[in-house]
Amino acid sequence: MKEKLETIRQQALEEITHAAESEALEQTRVKYLGRKGELTQILRGLSQVAPEERKTMGQAANEIKEAIASALEGRKRELEAKELEEQASRNRADLTLPGRRPRIGHKHLVSQVIEEIVDIFSGMGFQTATGPDIETEYYNFESMNTPEDHPARDLHDTFFVKDGVVLRTHTSPVQMRVMESTNPPVAVVVPGRTFRVDNDASHSPMFFQIEGLLVDKEVNFAELKGALMHFVHSFFGKDTAVRFRPHYFPFTEPSAEMDISCTVCGGQGCRLCKHQGWLEILGCGMVHPQVFRYAGYDVEEVTGFAFGMGVDRIALLKHSIDSIHHLYENDLRFLEQF
Ligand code: DAH
């Protein structure tokens, strides 16, 4: 019996050491320690052994059982580790592949143009102000000297939100909001979204404007021209020519539109300027006294100038882009050029 136990021990340990995978190891466990296993049977048969021998035999058998169990456990851990390792190496990344470059974004062309324009005016002492996109008819029209029956309202193709509330058609209402909360002198530029029911190659229902307002004692038209020419020369280049044409706006008197020499042909005439040599880029004028009255300013004390420009149009002209819609289609092939 003693020899038999010893043989079992040796065989079992041998098989355990050579088990090449978990499954084989499990079979070995069943073979020796399972319910019908060789060692289990011996342990069961101990009752048949003579009482003098029973104790020593029992101890020996149990020791062997523990030795086998612990060998099984050790081998099991080895095999599991090996199998994990194999699995990992099957899924391992191919370190020879070229890396993926993280894409770095940048500001949208319209944001860049807004920042550049605001920067130029801030160099002349203008602060930046903003106002709400959803605006009352009072601020958008009435306070800008455009009463309900005024024909200029028709030109604005307004989006109505509800009675008395509109999507602002221009940034001019922010003039009034600023003046209501500030005593003169005032010098602000106002970038922001504006909305009109309009959609073709040069119009988008949502677009951007920058408004300008300067109010002080004895402000005159020459100062308006000086500020705008400085802007044009900084933004479009020193050689850009400027001209002012009389125009009409309800909130300025006198009013003008300002043209610059064509950014493509320099004034010779081409498709972009429709062979005029000039491109219109903004409206401007001296603040109408009626606007000052709405703001509660003393029209005997102060004068001022104002201007408003379409940011999108200016971006298109600067970069010779043929449709405003490129700006808002979010096609990275287009946007990444700027
Ligand atoms: N608000 C005008 C528009 O959207 C642009 C404009 C013209 C603004 C003359 C002004 C101005 O401040 O003085 O067409």
Give the pLDDT of the chain (338 residues) as one tens digit per residue.
Answer: 778 888 888 888 888 888 888 888 888 888 888 888 888 888 788 888 888 888 888 888 888 888 888 888 888 898 888 888 888 888 888 888 898 889 888 999 999 999 999 999 999 999 999 999 999 999 999 999 998 888 878 767 899 999 999 999 999 999 999 999 999 999 999 999 999 998 888 889 999 999 999 999 999 999 999 999 999 999 999 999 999 999 999 999 999 999 999 998 989 999 888 999 999 999 999 999 999 999 999 999 999 999 999 999 999 999 988 889 999 999 999 999 99
Give the fold, CATH level 3, of 109-335.
Answer: BirA Bifunctional Protein; domain 2 (3.30.930)
- The 10 Å Cβ neighbour count of residue 258 is 24
**From the CA of 249, how far away is ligand 1's center (Å)?**
7
pLDDT at 32: 87
**From the CA of 316, how far away is ligand 1's center (Å)?**
19
**From the CA of 282, how far away is ligand 1's center (Å)?**
7
Of 63, 280, 311, nearest to 190 by C-alpha is 311
Can you give the residue ranges of every domain in the chain?
2-91, 109-335
pLDDT at 180: 98
Q: Which atom of ligand 1 is found nearest the CA of 211?
A: 12
Nearest residue by C-alpha to atom 4 in ligand 1: 170
CA-CA distance, 218 to 251, in Å (whole number)?
Answer: 18
The secondary structure of 113-130 as a DSSP string is HHHHHHHHHHTTT-EE--
Strands (E), the chain: 127-128, 134-136, 160-162, 165-167, 186-195, 206-216, 242-249, 252-261, 278-287, 303-310
Tokens read off for 191: 């970038």
pLDDT at 242: 97
Q: Which strands make up the sheet holding 303-310, listed edge to edge?
A: 127-128, 186-195, 206-216, 303-310, 278-287, 252-261, 242-249
